[in-house]
Amino acid sequence: MPKTINLDMNPGESIEHYYHRLADAADHRLIRLEAMAYEPDFEGVKKFAYARAMKNLEVWGGNRFNTKMPESVNLRNEKIADIIHFLQSPTSTKTGIVNVYKKRAETIKQKYGIDLKWQDMGRLMESFSDDASGGSPTKIKALGVIKQIDKYGVEKALKKNPNVSDDIIRTVAENYLNNPRYKDLINNLDLKTDPSALAEILKGLDV
């Protein structure tokens, strides 16, 4: 179980010490995730919070957070915000990764009888999350309907959005997940007749 990290400044703590304390904690997590990627069933751990941290680090330079503190107050605050976001992500720890995806996979199995491994659950959600950051108005609209289905149920959600059909939801989902690795999983989901199953799979895109 990872040690709980105090993300607030301690009384009397200098901003420089605060910055380096958080950055050091984040770097230790990156190292643990890199080592974990060699463990059975955890080969994909670098696709989650780790991948987003690496994208942030491309901006800051290097592959670790604990470098010289930016002199600009704005840049310093932005980097600290990136570090905190990583540390708060459930998928920055082994326990968090298992809890996030294992629980969702179990929920889908109970509700819909779809037997997904938690690792496949993670790959599906991360793939959708990466592509959903931008896209056409149709994709964005379909994503909104998917979220409404989750909240209101299929009939009410589609009634609220008469121009968006089950077919569009299915097409968008298949576009997002158009990858050979997910082919069998997609084929096992009858998204047209049960788009609420897709809504369940796409829950929690903020991990």
Number of H helices, E strands in the chain: 10, 0
Reported in sequence order, the residue ranges of 33-192 that DSSP labels E, i.e. its strands, are none
- Other beta carbons within 10 angstroms of residue 31's beta carbon come to 11
- Are the C-beta atoms of residues 48 and 100 closer than 8 Å to each other? no
Residue 166 has which token pair?
């089950």
186-202 pLDDT per residue, tens = 555 555 555 555 555 55
2-24 pLDDT per residue, tens = 567 899 999 999 999 999 999 99
150-159 pLDDT per residue, tens = 667 666 766 7
> For 176-186, what is the mean pLDDT?
57
Q: For Cα atoms 130, 83, 44, give the angle at the middle one, nearest 5 degrees.
A: 40
pTM for the predicted model, two decimal places: 0.62
